[in-house]
Amino acid sequence: MLSVAVKLLLRQIDRTAITILMLVPVVALLISSNMVASGYLQQAAVPVNLVQPSSAYVAYQPGSATPSSGSVSYDAFVRIQGSGVSSAVPLLSFPSIVSDGARSANASVLGTNTTTFTETRNSIVSGEVAENGSQADAGAIIAKVLGIKVGDNLTVDAFSRTQTLTVVGILNSTDQSDTGLILPLSSSWALWPQTANKISYVEFVATDQGAISSISKNMTVIREQGIGQIALSFGGQTASLLASWTLILLALSAAAAFAAASRVATEVSQEYKTVRALGARLSAAQALVFYELLLVSGASVLIGVSAGIVSTSILATLLKALDGLSLSPSIDVVQMVVLGTASFLLILAAGSFSLLWLPWKVGEGGDAP
Amino acid sequence: MSFAQTARMLSRKRAIFSLVLILLATSAAFSVTSSIFLSVENTASGMLGESGGTIVVAQGDSRTPFTGTLPLALASDLGSVAGVQVISPEVLAPSTLSNQPVMVLGVDPERFMQIQSPAILEGSPITPNDTDQAMVGETLAKEMNLHPGSEITLVGGVRATIAQLTVKAVFSTGTPLDNEVVAPLWVGDWLRGLSYGTVSILRVEVGAHQNPSQVALQVQRIIKNATGASAGGGPSPIEAYLPIASSLTSLAGLDIQASPDASSAFFSRSLGLSQEVVWLVSALVFLSMSVAIVCVIQEAVFRSRNELGILRTIGMSSRRLSWNLVAVATSVSFVVSVAGLLVGWALLTLVAEFSPIQLAFYTVDPRSALLLASLVSVSVVTVTGFAAAAFSSLRFTQPLTVYAMTLPYQESDPGAISE
């Protein structure tokens, strides 16, 4: 039966060629999109794997909107310090109104271990680091806004209590502390008793995941650098877009395969009628048409896969040469085999479905199935 | 035999339903694909805030617009260029907010409000002395339920630092900016890891009657000769609040470019995301679907072969028959392609509602380019229906031949039948 099908296909070589040519672009497009998608995802995965975010973290009261708005006991800092972290700094932050007599502004007061603070943040210090009672350092931006200079006296109003502080240095850390006043933690507690023995959050550096997990049990911990999350998120976006794109293509390919296979079945109905007229059983006639479908599908998929690989490679080279676009299609043999087999089965299934209708198409059936 | 009768003949055999379904799928798929990719391209090309009258000055040799740096003092030099109305220095700082990527735009509040004129939906705009406050775009505010008074913690993407800010306003611009957090310039510097006095880009608004490309060329010329000393534009207002030790003395060695389409050029260069590529991808989809269109039209013709054959036998010319078929197929293609647009619009609405498309830090509305995609889709599907029908009607061009028969009982009279 197979040899008869081959002979029939060869006898109608022009018709067979047109049918195969119609199926080839569908398969080639699937292969091509798969190569581009694989290449893109591989490219996207590289930066994600290269990303090494900083090991600096912030731990604060669970449920508070921001680290500064939280309030935990100083003991929390002591526990973190003793849990195997590389370094830790306690920070107490509260809002205040700072005035130099002529001008005033809203600014945060930051109580901390000033020496460790300036070291870990690589602060540029103009003057001295505040170390006792009524001394404070002004952040570079608040100093510029209010025109504060070393030696100036400032009034700081917080918790309905006004204190006078002497500025002994200007700190430029190029971070948010530049918009506030920095003073020793002990001074903050003494000047504003409402804050005694309290801190807002702890900044720490740790590479030991066990230590981080341990701290996370009692406090909210966030990493101070989000590059890892950004890279992961971008990779996810690309993968999602490509997955949607592939799904659209698969749906379209299915529709196209069904239409093309239906056409194959219709075109071979002449042979079907001939063999039926010669007395062949219905099953034998359908088998003949099925073999023809099998051969046409196999040839289409083989040529389609090859055409997809060749055309994508040529297109990538052309786009790189003409547009400078770096598109690196990737050939994954396993995926090619899976896609090729899936296309083959898809065309065959669509053709077989159409085959069921063949007796009715040629007018020898009763009621349609 | 009229056009309507040919149409009835084709529909009687139900073959036309396959044609309608395939055309519907093709039109919907084409409009969805091209609309999504064009919307992505539109978003990408407006990321740096370009519009008809705005040009962007950025570091020419940086890999991305986000990673380039410029001296803030350059803004003073560009103020003297004829046609320049407003210069807005801006720092782009990729960050995260509640583990979600978000772009923080550090700005000089006064200049930003002048160049962008955003609609303030809630709260009041930030001012130069709002040290720890920010505005959020409408899309981001809706997504993260942010309102004036909300406290947010931004985590630096490039540098290990956090910025704890209070939302002061929610704004709307109808551009990708609606996905961003807009904060004072120094917040951008912290999160991006730049020293004060350094920015990512300068956004320049040109006068209403000026050609942006011409102004961009003049800006390039000025940059080449710039020294960094103020030449008439005056310092940016925010410089009064920045702890900048010394002003710039030379721009030597800096590769700085000015362009009306900086981000579009960047995305085209690095991601291949240009309109040409979008149409190429859509064309590939369409190529595979045109195979199906040809198949179903041939199928329809095949199923009606008896009726069409009778028409030829009773005298209808092959040309007339072909034109009738082409006219029916073209009309059906046009009507169904319009219906396919509705299907496409519904699909895109579902995508926008339930699985929004994200491009880097921005949410893309896949329907934003549907109009252009629709026009192209209807034209292409209709033309393909016409071409496929013309190809299928080739079988009618074969000459109708009636062979002489020799009847067994009348061998001496073969008859006089000929074409």
Which residue of B158, B187, B302 is in closest CB contact with A266? Answer: B302
pLDDT score recorded for residue B93? 92
Of A155-159, B144-148, B152-156, B211-215, where does mean pLDDT reach its minimum?
A: B211-215
Which span out of A257-266, B214-223, B233-242, B257-266 was modeled with the highest average pLDDT?
Answer: B214-223
Whether A366 maps to a domain, the answer reads no
B394 reaches A (C-beta below 8 A):
no
Given A225, A247, A263, the domain boundary residue is: A225
Whether B141 maps to a domain, the answer reads yes
Give how far B298 is from chain A: nearest CA, Å.
8
B268 reaches A (C-beta below 8 A):
yes
Q: Are residues B195 and B312 in the same domain?
A: no
Give dist(CA A286, CA B238) in Å, integer.
82
Give how far B158 is from chain A: nearest CA, Å.
6
In chain B, which residue's Cα lies nearest the Cα of A260? Answer: B295
Q: Are residues A307 and A202 in the same domain?
A: no
The whole-number average pLDDT for the span A254-269 is 71
Question: Higher model confidence: residue B216 or residue B407?
Answer: B216
pLDDT score recorded for residue B408? 54
pLDDT, one tens digit per residue, over A122-151 is: 899 999 999 888 899 999 999 988 889 999
Q: Are residues B139 and B279 in the same domain?
A: no
Q: Are residues B283 and B232 in the same domain?
A: no
Residues forming a β-bridge with A111: A92, A183
Number of Cα atoms under 13 Å in the Cβ half of residue A179: 27
Given A225, A253, A275, the domain boundary residue is: A225
The whole-number average pLDDT for the span B232-239 is 58
Which residue of A144, A251, A253 is in closest CB contact with B241? Answer: A144
The whole-number average pLDDT for the span B221-243 is 62
Q: Are residues A206 and A239 in the same domain?
A: no
Whether B401 maps to a domain, the answer reads no
**Mean pLDDT of all residues in chain B?**
78
Q: Are residues B288 and B361 in the same domain?
A: yes
Q: Are residues B34 and B60 in the same domain?
A: no
Q: Are residues B85 and B229 in the same domain?
A: yes
Q: Are residues A162 and A200 in the same domain?
A: yes
pLDDT score recorded for residue B262? 63
B14: which 2 tokens?
Answer: 């139900």
Q: Are residues A242 and A300 in the same domain?
A: yes
Give dist(CA B295, CA A285) in Å, integer.
23
Q: Are residues B254 and B355 in the same domain?
A: no
pLDDT score recorded for residue A325? 56
Q: Are residues B209 and B251 in the same domain?
A: yes
Please determine, for residue B278, whether its predicted confidence score (pLDDT) is greater than 90: no
B77: which 2 tokens?
Answer: 């030099």
The amino acid that residue A170 corresponds to is: I
pLDDT score recorded for residue B78? 81
Which span out of A238-247, B155-164, B345-354, B371-380 was modeled with the highest average pLDDT?
Answer: B155-164
pLDDT, one tens digit per residue, over A35-53 is: 877 777 676 666 555 566 7
pLDDT score recorded for residue A331? 75
State the ipTM, two decimals: 0.73
Q: Are residues B198 and B231 in the same domain?
A: yes
In chain A, which residue's Cα lies nearest the Cα of B276? Answer: A323
| Residue from A27, A32, A179, A273 whose CB has the most chain B CBs within 10 Å, to mutate | A179
Contact A253 B95 (CB under 8 A): no
**Mean pLDDT of all residues in chain A?**
83
For residue B284, list chain A residues with Cβ-Cβ distance below 8 A: 29, 32
Contact A260 B195 (CB under 8 A): no
Of B205, B228, B267, the C-alpha closest to B41 is B267
Give dist(CA B152, CA B34) in Å, integer.
37
Q: Are residues B256 and B280 in the same domain?
A: no
Q: Are residues A16 and A69 in the same domain?
A: no
Quote the domain boundaries for residue A319: 2-49+230-360
Handedness of CA A247, A248, A252, A253 (dihedral sign): negative
Whether B245 maps to a domain, the answer reads yes
For residue B265, list chain A residues with Cβ-Cβ distance below 8 A: none
Q: Are residues A83 and A214 in the same domain?
A: yes
Given A225, A242, A259, the domain boundary residue is: A225
Q: Are residues B118 and B225 in the same domain?
A: yes
Q: Are residues A122 and A214 in the same domain?
A: yes
Which residue of A234, A252, A258 is in closest CB contact with B285? Answer: A252
Contact A230 B101 (CB under 8 A): yes
Whether B157 maps to a domain, the answer reads yes
| Percent of chain B's residues with pLDDT above 70 | 74
Number of Cα atoms under 13 Å in the Cβ half of residue B352: 18
Q: Are residues A171 and A299 in the same domain?
A: no
Q: Are residues B369 and B296 in the same domain?
A: yes
- The answer to whether B135 and B112 have CB atoms below 8 angstroms apart is no
User: What is the number of domains present in chain B?
Assistant: 2
Residues forming a β-bridge with B94: B103
Contact B164 A226 (CB under 8 A): no
pLDDT, one tens digit per residue, over B294-340 is: 777 777 777 777 777 777 777 777 788 788 888 888 888 899 889 98
Whether A365 maps to a domain, the answer reads no
- Taking one residue from A and the other from B, the number of pairs with CB-CB distance under 8 angstroms is 187
Of A190-194, B1-5, B65-69, where does mean pLDDT reach its minimum?
A: B1-5
In chain B, which residue's Cα lies nearest the Cα of A232? Answer: B101
Rounded to 5°, angle at Cα B409 from B407 and B415: 45
Could you say which residues from 166 to 205 on chain B have a Cβ atom under 8 Å away from some Cβ of chain A? Answer: 186-187, 189-190, 193-196
Spatial neighbors of B346 by CB under 8 A, at least 6 apart, are none
pLDDT, one tens digit per residue, over B377-415 is: 888 888 888 888 888 777 666 555 555 555 555 444 444
Whether B419 maps to a domain, the answer reads no
Whether A106 maps to a domain, the answer reads yes
Q: Are residues A156 and A219 in the same domain?
A: yes
Whether B317 maps to a domain, the answer reads yes
Contact B94 A230 (CB under 8 A): yes
Confidence of residue A367 (pLDDT cuts 50, 70, 90): very low
User: What is the number of domains present in chain A?
Assistant: 2
Give how far A199 is from chain B: nearest CA, Å.
16
Please determine, for residue B249, whether its predicted confidence score (pLDDT) is greater than 80: no
In chain B, which residue's Cα lies nearest the Cα of A43? Answer: B271
Q: Are residues A81 and A215 in the same domain?
A: yes
Confidence of residue A175 (pLDDT cuts 50, 70, 90): very high
Q: Are residues A294 and A196 in the same domain?
A: no
In chain A, which residue's Cα lies nearest the Cα of B95? Answer: A226
The amino acid that residue B100 corresponds to is: Q
Quote the domain boundaries for residue B123: 54-260
pLDDT score recorded for residue A204? 93
Of A61-75, A219-233, A275-289, where does mean pLDDT reach its minimum?
A: A275-289
The whole-number average pLDDT for the span B108-136 is 92
Confidence of residue A34 (pLDDT cuts 50, 70, 90): confident
Whether A367 maps to a domain, the answer reads no
- The answer to whether A136 and A143 have CB atoms below 8 angstroms apart is no
Identify the residue whose tokens are 């608004």. B205
Spatial neighbors of A266 by CB under 8 A, at least 6 apart, are A354, A361, B298, B299, B302, B303
Spatial neighbors of B78 by CB under 8 A, at least 6 apart, are B57, B84, B87, B202, B204, B219, B222, B223, B233
Indicate the pTM of the whole model.
Answer: 0.74
| Residue from A36, A43, A252 whose CB has the most chain B CBs within 10 Å, to mutate | A252
Which residue of B157, B161, B295 is in closest CB contact with A262? Answer: B295
Whether B418 maps to a domain, the answer reads no
Please determine, for residue A297, whether its predicted confidence score (pLDDT) is greater than 90: no
Which residue of B29, B155, B295 is in closest CB contact with A224? Answer: B155
3-class DSSP state of B124: coil
The amino acid that residue B175 corresponds to is: T
| Residue from B288, B355, B361, B381 whose CB has the most chain A CBs within 10 Å, to mutate | B288
pLDDT score recorded for residue B62? 73
pLDDT score recorded for residue A369? 44
The kind and range of the H/E element at B275 are helix B275-303
Chain centroid to CA B128: how far?
35
pLDDT score recorded for residue A366? 46
Q: Are residues A36 and A174 in the same domain?
A: no
Give dist(CA A69, CA A60) in Å, integer.
9
Of B388, B391, B417, the C-alpha closest to B405 is B417
Give how far B5 is from chain A: nearest CA, Å.
22
Question: Higher model confidence: residue B371 or residue A13?
Answer: B371
B64 reaches A (C-beta below 8 A):
no
Confidence of residue B128 (pLDDT cuts 50, 70, 90): confident
Contact A176 B100 (CB under 8 A): no
Whether B378 maps to a domain, the answer reads yes
